Structure 1
Amino acid sequence: MSLELDKNIAQEPVVQIENVDVYYGTHKAVAGVNLDIPKNNAVAFIGPSGCGKSTILRCINRMNDLVASARVKGRITFKGKDIYAKSVDPVGLRSRIGMVFQKPNPFPKSIYENVAWGARLNGYKGNMDDLVEDSLRKAAVWDEVKDKLKQSGLALSGGQQQRLCIARTIAIQPDVILMDEPCSALDPISTLKVEESIHELKRNYTIVIVTHNMQQASRVSDLTAFFNARSVEGGGGKLGYLVEYDKTENIFQNPAEEATQQYVSGRFG
């Protein structure tokens, strides 16, 4: 779904998803997804459980490759190149399209090494101290950890750990950062701090965030995609699909589809 966006949002798409179906074994989990993700925007995926939003997110950096039964049909491009082409190294792709998961997962290392580890693994040759500080600043956690960089990342609070994981992702210098329910395990204060970091990050990165929190989607995103699911006949589970994709203000204030209106108004289901 290509959007006609106003000039302050319109950018070349950094990721394009074209007619994508996702299967787990013989079960089709998601069908016919088309959308363009423009550079330096925050895009939110919203919708009920089982609608395919996290599945599509994980297709963007081939995390679904790690699920033996998963299969993707259609085309996903990153900067114009098909990411499922045989010549593409998934590990290299993930250094360009980083990911922050639902639960904070810092390494059992110091705060400094949590941030530096991925960059060092990727052969970073610059000033590591500067990179660590810059990454922690962009993740809005520097002021809280600057005096304890040698302490374990596991000693931080849940919200600090999640922002440390965001800093770790930033340090590998990706173009796109995917976030799968990054605040679902956090308290409201920590959630707001993560949201502040998202606003800061989209100046330099493209952000795609899956969230069940519609207020969060409305606060942090420029564009919102609403996914839904329908039951498959014969007890074959659910089939997820994209209902609508537009500027966030339109999705929440003047959606084109009745199902979107019902979901964002809380009348869904």
Structure 2
Amino acid sequence: MASATSADTFPNMSSLGEAHVDNERRLPAKPVNPVMETRDLNVFYGDFHAVHDVNLSYGRHEITAMIGPSGCGKSTVLRCLNRMNDLVPGARVDGEVLYHGQDIYEKRVDPIAVRTQIGMVFQKPNPFPKSIYDNIAYGPRVTGMKVDNMDDLVEEALNGAALWDEVKDKLKQSAYGLSGGQQQRLCIARTIATKPDVILMDEPCSALDPIATARVEDLMLTLRNEYTIIVVTHNMQQAARVSDRTAFFTARPDETTGNRTGLLVEYDLTSTIFSAPGDKRTEDYISGRFG
């Protein structure tokens, strides 16, 4: 067990810890009645073993951050949570991914239905080549969602993404006319328009400037009241600012092939991960000794 890390040993510790104070909610050590769980999750791309034996649970109305160096499998795990890896040729998932206790990889489970309940926001904003209005209405239309008034739904989703006041007078204009930060919030609005239960975010701020990043982070903290959010980020300060729990991944090289297999090192309350990690590998990564 690693000792609690001092600010001297851990240069950014005090700022990271202070950033997270307002977000700390006195949560139990482990999520109670988790919305999602992975049990002995292994992922293969052909013969390549990409992720090894990941066991995680994701709490309701919590933000869980997955951090770690490039190639450690965190984005691969994220894509498993709504079966996006089904779209990758040669991908194979072993183990279980449970959503409210149901294994989403059972043959009788429709992956489209899974993605309706478990939405995803990607690394780079990807608005459709449509109007702002039609971007939001697209999901409800194609899924056959019963909508009493589409105008109200569009307004609700844009309000939910803190974008309505900025675009309410140009709903028929192309989404491509928005700034990068606005486009990312539009993509978040498009995701919540279908009323998901869980929102996955794959480095949602990596292509944004600091001001746009701050707005998305504020939005995440607001959305947590209604959704369960799971985010992959390379930005440790961001994980400290917004997440309730943090999972640290690393990569283990194969001595024969050199291929790197991702594995979960440690999972705990974010305040614990950033102040008193239980594994030296976690401490070394957060303190900048490797990564």
TM value normalised by structure 1: 0.96
2:95 match? 74
Using the alignment, how far apart are the partners of 1:254 and 1:145 within structure 2? 44
Shift, 1:95, TM fit: 0.3
Using the alignment, how far apart are the partners of 1:37 and 1:140 within structure 2? 25
2:147–2:153 Cα contact (<8 Å) kept = no
Q: Give the one of 18, 31, 36 matched to 2:52.
A: 31
Using the alignment, how far apart are the partners of 1:10 and 1:146 within structure 2? 39
Aligned length: 265
Secondary structure in structure 1 of the residue aligned to 2:35: strand
Using the alignment, how far apart are the partners of 2:219 and 2:164 within structure 1? 11
Shift, 1:6, TM fit: 3.6
1:91 match? 112
Using the alignment, how far apart are the partners of 2:168 and 2:238 within structure 1? 28
1:116–1:171 Cα contact (<8 Å) kept = yes
Using the alignment, how far apart are the partners of 1:66 and 1:236 within structure 2? 26
1:190 match? 212
Secondary structure in structure 2 of the residue aligned to 1:13: coil
- Specify the code of the residue in structure 2 equivalent to 1:237: N
**Mapping for residues 229-248 of structure 1, pairs under 5 Å:** 229-248=251-270
1:64 match? 85
Tell whether 2:147 aligns with 1:122. no
2:39 match? 18
2:17 match? none
**Deviation readout 1:240-260 (Å, 9 max, x if unpaired):** 100000000000111101111
1:179–1:208 Cα contact (<8 Å) kept = yes
Shift, 1:264, TM fit: 1.1
Using the alignment, how far apart are the partners of 2:41 and 2:32 within structure 1? 22
2:8 match? none
**Deviation readout 1:77-107 (Å, 9 max, x if unpaired):** 1011010000001111100000000111101
Using the alignment, how far apart are the partners of 1:230 and 1:217 within structure 2? 23
Using the alignment, how far apart are the partners of 1:86 and 1:180 within structure 2? 26
Mark the runs of 5 or more structure 2 residues left unpaired by the alignment.
1-25
Aligned structure 1 segments of 4 or more residues deviating by more than 3 angstroms? 5-11
1:41–1:207 Cα contact (<8 Å) kept = yes
Secondary structure in structure 2 of the residue aligned to 1:51: coil
2:153 match? 131
1:225–1:245 Cα contact (<8 Å) kept = yes
Tell whether 2:113 aligns with 1:101. no
**Deviation readout 1:11-69 (Å, 9 max, x if unpaired):** 41110100011101011011010011111110000000000000000000000000111
Mark the runs of 5 or more structure 1 residues left unpaired by the alignment.
none
Using the alignment, how far apart are the partners of 1:9 and 1:27 within structure 2? 32
- Specify the code of the residue in structure 1 equivalent to 2:229: I
TM value normalised by structure 2: 0.88
Q: Percent identity?
A: 61
Using the alignment, how far apart are the partners of 2:195 and 2:52 within structure 1? 32
Relative contact order, higher structure (CA 8 A, sep 6+) = 2
**Deviation readout 1:227-248 (Å, 9 max, x if unpaired):** 0001111124101100000000
- Specify the code of the residue in structure 2 equivalent to 1:163: R
1:181 match? 203
Tell whether 2:274 aligns with 1:252. yes
Secondary structure in structure 2 of the residue aligned to 1:244: strand
2:41–2:94 Cα contact (<8 Å) kept = yes
Q: Give the one of 149, 162, 167 matched to 2:184.
A: 162
- Specify the code of the residue in structure 1 equivalent to 2:155: E
2:12 match? none
1:201 match? 223
2:253–2:261 Cα contact (<8 Å) kept = yes
